[in-house]
Amino acid sequence: MAWLKTLAETYDVNAELAGKEKNGQAVLLPICHSTFNAQIEVTIDLDGNFKDARKLEKGGDIVTVIPVTEDSAARSSGIAPHPLCDKLCYTAGDYSAYTGDDKAAYFEAYLDQLRDWAESEDSHPMVRAVYCYLKKGSLIKDLAADKVLELDENGMLTDQWKIQAQGQTGANVRFLVSGSSLPHEVWKNQGVYQAFIRYYQKKMEGEQLCYATGKTQLCSDKHPSKIRNSADKSKLISGNDESGFTYRGRFTEKGQAVSVGYETSQKAHNALRWLIQKQGYTRDESAIVTWIVNRDMPVPDIMKDSVNAYDGIDGFGFDFDTLGMEEGAEDGKPDTGKAFAEQFNRAVSGYAAKIQADDKAALIALDAATTGRLSIVYYDEMGGKQFMDAVLHWQQHCSWRRSIKIERSEEGKKRITCESAPSPREMALAAFGVQRSEWLEADAKLIRATVKRILPCITQQGVRIPEDIIMAAARRASMPQSMSEFVWYNDVLCVACAMIRYNYEEKYKEEGRTMEHFLEDSQDDRDVLFGRLLAVYDLMEQRAMFEVDENGKVKDTRMTNAKRYWNAFSRRPGKTAKTIKENLIPYLKKLRDYECKRFLEWEDEIIVCLGGQFNNAALSERYLPGYAQQMKLMKEAFQKKEQ
């Protein structure tokens, strides 16, 4: 129940935002309210006279805040009207006459409920205007006359015509009252919100112990849905199995299992919905959000790579729009130098300094257990500084130099090459993804399960990445022929190396060893040495065969022998290394003298270090950073020589 209490606290901190739009962000719903997508907007005056109406187009301002009861918020069948805005079958007294479908009981239940509110001491002029209009029972007639609804040749309302791909008979209706104080929109009026909250809380009965707060208050056994989006029917708390399977052997009724205060539940669910819409990650049928509990302060998005994680944070002292592109930058070169790293690190340090000693951070991850059930697969809360220390540790130590797409750039075309920690989803794709089109794809269920296992590595310092995930990524990286060169290198090899680096630096944390010491520490490591040897053979063929233009770009490429035999090399390195070397003999003549000399020196150095370890035992994942580090060392050496 800690998550409920924490979310309710978050709501109380941001209560002044309830029902208000701020900077185009999602609206924090008032308690006793929910949302639906409206298809029709009806305008009336304060005396309840019809003025006009219009259809609402999909993609526009259709999300509408509506008051709800416990029953109407949880309805799936039966008669359970919303108190004000609802479907035509509830709001139109002439629905049965125009459709032939007897829904008189729906309209009667709706009107009785609306009348009770309109005539109570907690009413509102807008509510009374809507009641005065709808009791006339002419809604469909007025909408048809105003050409908002289409009737067939028999003068009947059918689903032959659609509104937002929704049949006319199932359209949701909202109201706008002209002549009233601003705003005219009923669904945006704070006075209407507060009037219904007062009215509905007086109607509720029966106090119980709330398990979340430990206080005696009005409790509810029906809890909100629409947590991940406005069409989401899954619930976090539910108990609608009356056949005995839910409570058999332990309880006789659901209230004995758990009871949650109505107000606490409303605040917690509304806060969670608001956080997910405002700053959450929603993909692969999961939802993950991190937030500061005690104040409305944005936090880095741990579901993105370390560069994009800070994008969108107000006051973050770095202008992403100034980044140069890999192709098309003014000087013809990508912005990959130390200037970017220094500026970005200063901005991150400046942001981290804003975290206060009493800040509390929380993280919650939701997964769709079934169609109607949501499960909390991960929840953690900690001090704000502890959270930022963990995130910065992750971003600094689980990083590798690779090409990063800047998400906020125009059409997502801007890229920068820099050291960056991959996102958890990128790690899952590196381990289990398959390239079917331009990018890697994988089963959503497998992605969700993998991301869930990586989350503790980010938020809790000292938790290493599971070895089976790294091994799976290493196997994918050992098959470069199964994907494009860019995807293999950037999205698989570099991501796998980043994960290996993190576990390596965690292992030697006490000694202060970093990836810069990797080759030095691995002079006797057979796996790393074979990875270095593979890099020598790979670059040797590249420089011998591939011609470059005046800008240094390769004119024509093909797969090298090293990459063609890569998978076999990872399983039988001794035998495969000899095969690759034999295939490279003709290419040695095409190398410049200093190139040939350097390659042979590197090869001899590695083979001497291997000594009696030059055999066919399969390689571990450590050969991958050995390959990458040796490739970097050689390219820098040649670049320095040519300069």
Q: Is the pLDDT of residue 554 over 80?
A: no
578 contact partners, CB below 8 Å, separation of at least 6: none
Q: Is the pLDDT of residue 432 over 90?
A: yes
Identify whether the C-beta of residue 262 lies closer than 8 Å to the C-beta of residue 333: no
pLDDT in tens, 583-640: 998 888 888 888 899 999 999 999 999 988 999 999 999 999 999 999 999 999 988 8
Q: Reduce the DSSP state of residue 77 to 3 states and report it.
A: coil
Cα dihedral 245/268/205/19 (nearest 10): -140
Cα dihedral 269/274/277/279 (nearest 10): -110
Identify whether the C-beta of residue 12 lies closer than 8 Å to the C-beta of residue 18: no
pLDDT band of 331, cuts 50, 70, 90: very low
Mean pLDDT of the region 16-38: 88
Percent of the chain with pLDDT over 90: 59
Q: Is the pLDDT of residue 323 over 70?
A: no
- For residue 635, CA distances in Å to 478, 535, 551, 628, 642 come to 22, 11, 16, 11, 10
The strands making up 40-45's β-sheet, listed across from edge to edge, are 50-55, 40-45, 172-178, 86-87
Cα–Cα nearest to 12, from 219, 266, 196, 226:
266
* Cα(399)–Cα(417) distance, integer angstroms: 12
pLDDT band of 408, cuts 50, 70, 90: low
Identify whether the C-beta of residue 296 lies closer than 8 Å to the C-beta of residue 14: yes
pLDDT in tens, 71-118: 898 887 889 999 999 999 999 999 999 999 999 999 999 999 999 999
Cα–Cα nearest to 527, from 557, 571, 483:
571
The strands making up 207-209's β-sheet, listed across from edge to edge, are 207-209, 216-220, 260-261
Q: Is the pLDDT of residue 327 over 50?
A: no
End-to-end Cα separation, the chain, in angstroms: 64
Percent of the chain with pLDDT over 70: 91
Identify whether the C-beta of residue 384 lies closer than 8 Å to the C-beta of residue 360: yes
Angle subtended at Cα 613 by Cα 611 and Cα 616, rounded to the nearest 5 degrees: 135
Mean pLDDT of the region 289-309: 92
Residue 44, H or E segment: strand 40-45
Q: What is the pLDDT of residue 328?
A: 38
pLDDT in tens, 116-148: 999 999 999 999 999 999 999 999 999 999 999
Mode of pairing for the β-strands spanning 172-178 and 40-45? parallel
Could you tell me the two tokens for 217? 């208050």
Helix axis angle, 623-642 to 494-507, nearest 10° = 110
Mode of pairing for the β-strands spanning 286-292 and 172-178? unpaired
* Cα(417)–Cα(108) distance, integer angstroms: 65
pLDDT band of 452, cuts 50, 70, 90: very high
Q: What is the pLDDT of residue 267?
A: 94
* Cα(450)–Cα(283) distance, integer angstroms: 13
Identify whether the C-beta of residue 477 lies closer than 8 Å to the C-beta of residue 493: yes
585 contact partners, CB below 8 Å, separation of at least 6: none
**Alpha helix ranges (H) inside 223-261:** 254-257
pLDDT band of 343, cuts 50, 70, 90: confident
Could you tell me the two tokens for 446? 């497998």
* Cα(518)–Cα(422) distance, integer angstroms: 20
pLDDT in tens, 190-208: 999 999 999 999 988 878 8
pLDDT band of 335, cuts 50, 70, 90: very low
* Cα(269)–Cα(424) distance, integer angstroms: 26
Residue written as tokens 């993909």? 283
Question: In a 10 Å sphere around its CB, with 0-12 CB exposed, 13-18 middle and 19+ buried, how is residue 508 labelled?
Answer: middle
Least confident of 29-38, 140-149, 254-263, 629-638: 254-263
pLDDT in tens, 475-509: 999 999 999 999 999 999 999 999 999 999 898 88
Mean pLDDT of the region 376-383: 93
Provide DSSP, 293-350.
SSS------TTS-TTGGGTT-TT-S--GGGPPPSSS-TTSS-S-SHHHHHHHHHHHHH
